[in-house]
Amino acid sequence: MAVEYRTLGRTGVQVAPLALGAMNFTVRGEDSVQEPVRIIHQALERGINLIDTADVYGQGGSEEVVGRALKGRRDSVVLATKAGLPMGEAPQRSGSSRRWLVQAVEESLRRLGTDWIDLYQVHRFDPQTAHEETLAALTDLQHAGKIRYFGTSNYQAYRLVEAQHAAHDRGLSGFVSEQANYSLLMRGLERDVLPVAQQYGLGTLIWGPLSGGWLSGAVRAGQPIDTNRARHFPAWFDLDVPVNQRRLDVVEQLAGVAAGAGLTLIELALGFVTAHPGVTAAIIGPRTREHLEAQLAALELRLPDDVLDAVDMIVGPGSDLAPGERYDLPSDLQNPRLRRRP
């Protein structure tokens, strides 16, 4: 089978069902760059054509690595990056104000070694900045040829709707995509963001399809948990926490479904995400070429209905097994002071 490319929203841009995420790539000396560059080249040679990074990854280091890898290959790649999370401690070096976005895009262009960015994404909704301010700045950057399209990341569904209306009312270009967290263990997106994206013709890029390592095959009952994420965030994998034990039980059931279908757990996880008609591509984030090969096995995979039905029996549609890990929760759910009278 050949890779079946998909249209990113209504842009006409064609992308593979898997995209390469560069969050794990950064510059820690010249030797640290070589393996990420090889991974990027290997992914491109296998048919992946969208690379996603962000200015905040390695405080610019990831963009530098991607820029090196794309020398001589830029025209064949859909290059996506993000801005909005803090780039240092200065108060003006974050958010989605015109002041910062105009500066941030120039810094990203320099690090990426390119004249334009295909998809420029607002990394988080900025409650301090009006949609109109952000959209006007991004529209001007688009007209200046700095960016081709712009999108969002981790926006709540109603914020996506607000932004669509703001763009229409002001005669501005609108967001063309949303990047969000979705996996076999985190299906809450099916309740709100995915239907909204489909209604408004937004492309959807999915981060975390392996749920931080839970669906990589490295987290199984009766064996030590040894993943990079577990070393950095041990609380997410602490089996004394009931929600984590529940996730482990579900992973074991899903592993059984995968085995019965002749698949690895990784293939089931990625194939499930890309099966949703509202999903454009799932972003994979391999740290080694071996990880990449294990994930590329899902590039041309299409899960049959009976396998998807079996998944629904284990994890109900719209269910989040770790709701606290959603990054689009309203601020008043995260900050008690915002939901209590003074």
Domain extent at residue 100: 6-339
Helices (H), 46-192: 61-69, 98-112, 131-143, 157-170
Enumerate the active-site residues. 57
Q: Is residue 233 included in any domain, yes or no?
A: yes
Rounded to the nearest angstrom, the gap between the alpha carbon of residue 305 and the centroid of all alpha carbons in its chain is 25
What tokens were used for 37? 């560059």
Structure tokens at 115: 């004249």
Q: Do the domain assignments include residue 45?
A: yes
Give CA–CA dist 197/281, Å, rounded. 13
Token pair listed for 139: 């529209």
Tally the domains of the chain.
Answer: 1
Interaxial angle between packed helices 242-260 and 305-314, expressed in degrees from 0 to 180 and rounded to the nearest 10:
160
231 CB neighbour count, 10 Å cutoff: 10
Q: Provide the terminal-to-terminal Cα distance of the chain, rounded to the nearest Å.
A: 61
CA angle 237, 180, 23 (to 5 degrees): 65
Is-contact 49 76, C-beta < 8 A? Answer: yes
Quote the crossing angle between the two packed helices 265-275 and 242-260, to the nearest 10°.
Answer: 90
* Token code pair at residue 11: 């842009």
Distance from the Cα of residue 308 to its chain's centroid: 22
CATH of the domain at 195: 3.20.20.100
The rounded average pLDDT for each run of 10 residues, N- to C-terminus, in the chain (342 residues) is 92 98 82 89 97 96 96 96 95 96 98 98 96 98 98 97 98 98 96 97 97 91 79 82 92 98 98 97 95 95 96 95 73 69 64
Q: Indicate whether 209 belongs to any domain.
A: yes
Quick check: is 24 in a domain? yes
Residue 241 counted as domain residue: yes
Count the neighbouring beta carbons within 10 Å of the beta carbon of residue 106.
12
Cα torsion 213, 215, 218, 224: sign: positive
- In contact, 79 and 109? CB cutoff 8 Å: no
Euclidean distance between CA atoms 188 and 71, whole angstroms: 39
Output the six-digit token pair for 273. 């995400």
The answer to whether the CB of 326 falls within 8 A of the CB of 181 is yes
**Amino acid found at 286:** P
Model confidence, pTM: 0.93
Residue 332, pLDDT score: 66
Residue 1, in any domain of the structure: no
The answer as to whether 155 is a domain residue is yes
Paired sense of beta strands 50-52 and 18-21, if any: parallel
95 within some domain: yes
Separation CA 217–CA 117 (nearest Å): 35
